[in-house]
Structure formats: C-alpha cells, structure tokens
Structure 1
Amino acid sequence: MSSDTAEKKTWTWRAFFMVLVQGFALFSDGYNVQIIGYMQSVMAVLYPKVLTASIKTRLSNSILIGEVVGMILFGLCIDRFGRKIGVIATTCFLVFGIVLATASHGTSLTGMFWMMIVSRGIAGVGAGGEYAVCTAQALESADGSTATQKKRGLLVAISTNFSIILGFVASSIVSIIVIAAYHGKANEGIWRICFGIGIILPLGIFLFRISMIDSRQYERHAIQHKLPYKLALKMYWRPLLGCCSAWFLYDFVVYPFNLLAPTLVKGFSKKQTLLQSVGWSALINSFALPGALFGGWLMDIIGRRQTYALGWAIVSILGFIIGGAMVQLQHVFPLFVVLYGLFQTFLSVGPGDCNFLVSSESFPTPLRGHFLGFAAAVGKAGAAIGTTVLSSALSSYDDPVKGRQVIFLIGSAISVVGTLIVWFLIPNHPKELEDQDTRFRAYLEENGYDVSQIGLPQSKPQREV
C-alpha cells in the first residue's frame, strides 16, 4: 500500500471517528431536552397542586430559551476563537446545569420547581451551543476526504438529527426502566435519577473531544478579526431567510408533537398506566430513527433541497389524513400509532435531517457558526412558541378528540408553508465546502475587503479532526 493511500485511509477513519464523537455529544443533548416530557407525567402525580399549567410550560421552555442563548453565543464564539473553545465551554454549561437540576430543592415545592427551571435553562445554554459546535465540526470533518465527501449528507445526519432523536428515544427507555424499578408508582427518586443520568455521557466523551483540534477548513478560512458582516449578509440573506424560516416551522411542529406524545396517546384510554403511556410515546418517537437514516441517504442521492421539500410534503399529507380521520381513528388505536409514527418519520426524513446540513453547507467557513447558530436559535424560538400554541389548542377543547384533530391540521398547514419556503429559498449544496469558501473569498476581494486576514497565522501540523 502506498503512503498516499495509507494517509487517505487514516484521514477517512479520523473523519468517521470525529463524526461519531459529535453524535454522542448531541445524543446527550437530545436526552436532556426530552426527559422533562416524561418526568412531568411523574411530577403531575407527585405534586398535582403545585405543578400548574404555567409551571409545566416554564419547565418545557426553560431549556429551549437557554438553547437560543447558547446557539447565538457559541455560534459567534466558535468562528472567532475556534471550535475547540466551544467544546469546553458548552460541556461546562451543560453539566453544571444538569447537576443543579438533579439536586433541585427549596423551602417549598414552588421554590424547588423554580430552581429546576433556572437549572435547566443553564443546561440549555450548553446544549444549544452544541448544535453549532457539533454540526460545524461534523460537517468539516465529513468534508475532509473524497470518500467522506460522497457521504457527507448521511454522516452529518447521523451525527446530528439521528443522534438527537436517539437521545429522545433513550430518555423514554430510561424513564420506563426507572419507573418499572419503582413498580410503576410515582416517586421523587424517579425524576432525580433520570435527570442525573444525563450527566454521564457529556463527561464520558469530554476527554476525547478536547484532544481534537480545529479542522483544516477552519484553519485555512477563519476570520478572527474584522468580520465582514455587511458583505456576508448581502451575499447570503436569501439562504439565511430560508434556513431560519424552515427551521422555525419544523421546531414549531416537531417539539410540541414530541412533548405531547404521552398526552395524545393517553387520551385514547383513561385506563392507561404511567408506564403504558410512556411506552406508547416511546414507540411513536422511535419511528423518527429510520427516517433520519433514510433522509441522510436520500440527501446524497437526490439532493438537499429535494429531500427537504419531499419530507415536508409527505408530512402535510399524513397530518391532514390523521386530522381528518381522528374520529374514526379514536376506535382503531394501533392505526393511529402507525400513522402518528409515519408523521414523525417524514418529519425526520425532510426538515429534521436537512436543517442541520443545509444551514451549515449554505454558508462559508468563517461565518458558518454565526449563521448556523442563528438559524438554530430561530428554530428553538419556534419550538417554544409552537409548544405554547399547540398545547393551548389541545387543552382549549372540552372534547379531546377535537383537540387532537385541530393540532394535527395545524401541523399539516405549517408543513405546506415549509415545503414552499424550502423550494424557493434553499440553495443547491456545494460539492465541496472549499467551493463555498473560494466563492466567498472572491466576493470579498471584489468588494475591497483585505483577504490577507483570512486564515489562521500558523497552520497547526498536528492531527486534524
């Protein structure tokens, strides 16, 4: 084997390893975000008078608000100071917040819940920062060799959307195991154990992550001083608008439907136990996993925009079918589960996968964190708003069947709008990230920007991520 061939294989395996590590990081974020949905069912039994509707909303939204702050803050940070700084800071925020949430207490139950709300907000800052850090690192690593470039869509999908959904599913599995250990009866130990487990993974992979350095792509194209914001916005306003709008609409739909899954399923039978409710919602959320893999494969075959629009379109059709037939489905629970699961599957195939990839590929390396973080933050704003709106819509009807029907119809209508936004605002992806950076550099030079500022002063000769 020639030395060139051996080196290429080494870079390829390093790229795969780096992508895998980013996936583990976002897996932990998915777990920590979703676990509150299941623990609220436990807390509703333990603290029925204190866990009011407003407290429930604050518990759900606190980590989302923290994520918005983290996405914007660390999106700026990783472009200016490097990807590695982001890894260290986001992990510290995440672990600190989870530790505080696990240890939540107060002189009253209300005080305990407020400590939990604030703590999950701190954890959200770290989790939100991971979106920008992990996606940028995974994308730039996947672009590191010819072999990985051809599978860039699938690799990034695995390390982002698939890993986050796997974290969602893991949170339900852990909840089932811990609840079963307490013989299906609500206990304070359940939510403390489930929260605490979220600390293990970010700490477990921390040493691997800080041992890695910034990508070649970042070293060659970083701009750490005098960032050309006006020129960048003039060149990229259209894809930025498309990415922000599509991500907002996706999170507006997917987060409420994930968080409301136990409620929607429980509505079919008043006799369901706590364990059964969590189990059915876990099954529904797991439908998104094959969707994430299929979407990643499809993006590399037919293109990002095409996969994006296809997923949205099928979601809208399924939502209209479920909403329109809700009365009939009330008497055929297994069919409802299958249709609801397919609804989740195609949310994952289209916007779930494409949000991360398109929002990072569409922009040049020196500003990738900025635009990716901003688009993701707009998405999380959509999650907070969508959770409030759809939860209110569901509870505003005395007839639960009518409430479920309405939220599926709303989700479908939003999906139609998402399809149109994607088709008209999302650009075709570059074959290589270098193409995007070369184009941006030429544009800056044409407009009088001093391109000598592009790139780090010294290229690091150590191993690259």
Structure 2
Amino acid sequence: MPTAAYVAKQAPDAASAADWQPQHLTSADVKYATWIAFFAWVFAVYDFILFGTLLPVMGEHFSWNQATQAEIATWVALGGAVVAFAIGPVVDRLGRRAGIIFTVTGSALCSLLTAFTAGMGKGGLIGVRSVAGLGYAEEGVNATYLTEIYAASTDPKLVKRRGFIYSLVQSGWPVGALIAAGLTAVLLPQIGWQGCFVFAAIPAFVVAFLARRLKESPQFQVHLRIAQLRKSGQDGQAQALARAYGVDYQEHAKAGIGAAFRGTALRATLVLSVALLLNWSAIQVFSVLGTSVIVSVHHVSFQNSLWILVLSNLVGFCGYLFHGWLGDRIGRRNTVAMGWMCGGLAFAAMIYGPSDLVTVVTLYSVGLFFLNGPYSALLFFMSESFPTSIRATGGAIVHAMGPIGAVMAGLGITGVLTSGGQWYSAAIWFGAVPCFLSGLVMLAARHVSPDSVK
C-alpha cells in the first residue's frame, strides 16, 4: 500500500523511480488542516474588518475628517498589496504550512500593535496596518494549501464536493466580519477601540500555535524534492521523480514570477488580476468601508450600522455556501461571473433606494451575498489555474491586485469627497459599477471543469 494518498492517485510507480515518497496524509490530517485554515481565515478577517469598522471611531478620537480617513485606508491598502505580492514567492520556496503560520502570526501582532501605534500619528498606523496585509495574504495561502491536499485525497466524498467544502473555509470572511461587528457593538462601550484590537489578537495567536501540527502538502513535498535534486546536480533522478508524479519538468525548472506571465499561465494571470482589481474596489466600498456608506448615504446611526453589518453578513455566509456548491456543478468561472454581476445591480439598487431600515438591510444583504459569496469559488479557481511550481506565486500576483483595486477606490473616494461630492456618487462609481464589470471580465478566463483534478 502506498504511503501517501497522492501517490495512490497520481503515481503508484513513484517508489520505483526514486527512493523517496512524500509524507503520508490521513483523512484526519485533511480534516485538521481544513479546520485550521477556517479559523486562520476567520481571525484574519476579524482584524481586517475591525480596522474598517472602527475607522470612523478612530477618526473621531483623533479628529480625522472623512477625507483623511479615506486617505489612511488608501495608503494601508497600497502597503497591503506589497505584502500580499511578496508572500507568494516565499510560500513557493518555504512551503504552505510555514506560510500559514507566518501570516497568521503576523496578523495577530499587527492587530496588537494597532492599539498602540495610532496615537503616534498617521505614519505609524499606516505602517502597521500595511504589514497587517499578511492577514489578507493568508487567504491565498489557504487556497493554495487546501487545493493541493484536497487533490491529494482519495476520499470520494471530498473529491466530489471539494469546492463546497472549501466554501465552508472561505465562509470565514462573513464569520470574521460578524465577529468584528458583533463584538465591536458589545465591547466598544466597555474597553474602547484600543481594547477591541488587543482582544482580536488573542485568538489569532492561538490558531498560529495550533497550525504547527499541520503537515505539508504532498505536491509541495514533491516540488521541493525535485528542486533539491536539481540543485545538487542529480537531474536524472529529478526527471524520474517528475515523471513518476506527473510533473512537467521543464515547467518546474522555469518556476518563478516570470513563469506566471508565460504559456497557459499568462491568460489566468491577466484576466484574474483585472477581475480582482475591479472587484476589490467594490470590496473596499461595501465591506471595508460599509459602515461609512450606510451612515453617510442613508443617515443610519453608527450603532445601527453595526447591526446591519451583522445581519447582512449572516446572509453573506449563505452566499459562500451557495457559490461553493454551485461551482462544483456549473464551473467556478461561471459562478463567480454571475454572482458579481448580480452584486453590482443589488448595491446600485441599495444606494438609490429608500432609506428605510428594511430596504437598506435587504438590498445590502443581497449585495454581500453576491459580492463576497463568489470568493468561495474564486480562490479555489485561482489555485486550479496555476501549476504547483508557481501556484502560490501566481495566486499572490492575482491576489495583490485586490488591495490595488482598493487603493484605486480609495483615491477615487477621496477625490469625490474633497471636491465636495457625496458618498452615494462615490459608492456607485467606485463600488457598484466595478462590481458588475468584474463579473464580465471573469467570462474571459479559461473554463476549468468542476470534475478536473490538478
């Protein structure tokens, strides 16, 4: 019996090709990895959303007007993009397990430091929150890791429903947003905004500690072994190992940032980058700065806006499960495209609709259902679109376009507000419209059959 599920699936003759095999992964290992990935994402999102949620409160504390707050959010997003881009090559070199531990720990430290650096001025806050982009980058590391260990599994239930199961992990976004909004509503009057950031760091540190028990994915073990053999001059054994595990040796040898812009990877890199850039403009407007939009456009109190975020993110949680389930059936590209176009229409209706609480909650919830939900299919689709040798690097390049889209939205919003414009105009042109366009762009990506296994 082979010593790894991936061996059983891809290369039963690997032992005859080389006296080496990847570490065995049990079903328990896969389940543990799924739970760790879920909680890692929950608490990364908790910190990420917490900053956007508390930004109006911090602005009041430090006498920052809306334009200044938008400027801070813009620079933070730019710094986060740099961090998200840099993490991909690191994960392709050091491993998926190390990437998860590093990003979760970094996110926890930055949450803790946010409580103490804001008083040092805008520069210190921007610096810390930029490094907190590690929490955002953790999403891509999660997707890379789980794509590989799910593909390595021989469990027929997991193989058939891996998109839906991943959607449960990706649903950590609305769960984290719910925790951020709910606990802020409860804790803010008791411990202040600084205490909220300190409190957010504790569970993230716990998850980082538990992540040390994770096992590396079999695909990355094979990738690393081939690289080691090549480096030591044992090309013959490296090629034999590559053949045994179905790895394109020439493609493996060309791994690196440049490989994401060559061959079949080029289309995925360009299309997904543009789509994510546009969609993150909408994310910045309706998720990160959602409280500002609701308060300014519909004159809802800040406290009520927190509860609107709680209710709408409950609906958003269902959106993750729905789009993960649908992606397994009609394809992840089509699922993402349809969802984002519907989301753009829902947000436009919310902005131009009446200001009664029921209408605002309903349309905002529907918008988040179709804005955030498709990410359960998108992140899995991104990882399926790149080979193992550049899976984290390609994913990181695409993923880094998200914060750049947020920067563009921030610059646009700042420009509108400083020139005397209103929030509803900024939300339409930098939120609803890009959301719809991102769905159209996704249709240009290469379709990947839900039954295919990378």
Which TM-score bucket, shorter chain as reference?
A: 0.7 to 0.9
Encode CA deviations 1:87-112: one digit per residue, 9 max, x unaligned: 3432343233223222236xxx5x34
> Mapping of 1:428-439 within 5 angstroms?
428-429=448-449, 431-434=451-454
Q: 1:426 to 1:416 in 2, by over 3 A?
A: farther
Q: Does 1:329 align with 2:354?
A: yes
Matches within 5 A, 1:299-338: 299-323=327-351, 326=352, 329-330=354-355, 332-338=356-362
| One-letter amino acid matched to 2:174 | I
Deviation at 1:239, TM superposition (A): 1.5
Secondary structure of the equivalent of 1:104? helix
SS in 2 for 1:424: coil
**1:5-404 map, 5 Å:** 11-48=26-63, 51-53=64-66, 55-104=68-117, 109=119, 111-124=120-133, 126-143=134-151, 144-145=153-154, 146-160=156-170, 162-181=171-190, 189-222=191-224, 224=227, 226-229=253-256, 233-267=262-296, 273-323=301-351, 326=352, 329-330=354-355, 332-350=356-374, 352-390=375-413, 392-393=415-416, 396=419, 400=422, 403-404=423-424
* 1:256, distance to aligned residue in structure 2 (A): 1.4
Task: Please report how far the alpha carbon of residue 249 of structure 1 lies from its aligned counterpart in structure 2 after TM superposition.
Answer: 1.3
In the alignment, structure 2 segments of 5+ residues that lack a partner are: 10-24, 232-252
CA distance in 2, matches of 1:132, 1:333: 36
Provide the residue aligned with 1:437 in structure 2. none
Q: Which residue of 2 aligns with 1:453?
A: none
Q: Using the TM superposition, name which of 421-430 and 356-365 deviates more.
A: 421-430
Counterparts in 2 of 1:65 and 1:231: CA distance versus 1, 3 Å: closer
Q: Relative to structure 1, is the Cα distance of residues 247 and 355 closer, same or farther in structure 2, using a 3 angstrom cutoff?
A: farther
What's the CA shift for 1:54?
5.4
TM-score (norm: length of structure 2): 0.80
Aligned counterparts of 1:56 and 1:411: Cα–Cα separation in 2: 17
Distance 1:281 1:392 in 2: 26
Over 3 Å counting, the alpha-carbon distance change for 1:291 and 1:190 in structure 2 is same
How far, CA to CA, are the matches of 2:298 and 2:93 in structure 1?
53
TM-score after normalising by structure 1: 0.79
1:201 CA displacement: 1.9
Report the counterpart of residue 455 of structure 1 in structure 2.
none
Amino acid paired to 1:34: I
Contact 2:175 2:313 in 1 (8 A): no
Q: Distance in 2 between matches of 1:321 and 1:112?
A: 38
CA RMSD of aligned residues (A): 2.9
Report if aligned partners of 1:19, 1:142 keep a CA contact under 8 Å in 2.
Answer: no
The residue number in structure 1 matching 2:246 is none
Verify the 8 A CA contact 1:315 1:415 in the aligned structure 2.
yes
Matches within 5 A, 1:432-451: 432-434=452-454
Shift >6 Å, 4+ stretches: none
Which amino acid counterpart does residue 191 of structure 1 have in structure 2? Answer: W
What one-letter code is carried by the residue in structure 2 that aligns with 1:80?
A: R
Structure 1 residues 101 and 422 mapped into 2: Cα distance closer, same or farther (>3 Å)? same
How far did 1:173 drift? 0.8
Shift of 1:396: 4.9
Paired positions, count: 406
What whole-Å deviation, never above 9, does each CA across 1:244-302 have from its counterpart, x for those lacking one?
A: 111111111122112332223223665x5442232223333443111111111111122
Q: Any idea what the Cα deviations from partners look like across 1:177-207, whole Å, max 9, x if unmatched? A: 01343xxxxxxx4111111122112211223
Contact 1:24–1:163 (8 Å) recurs in 2:
yes
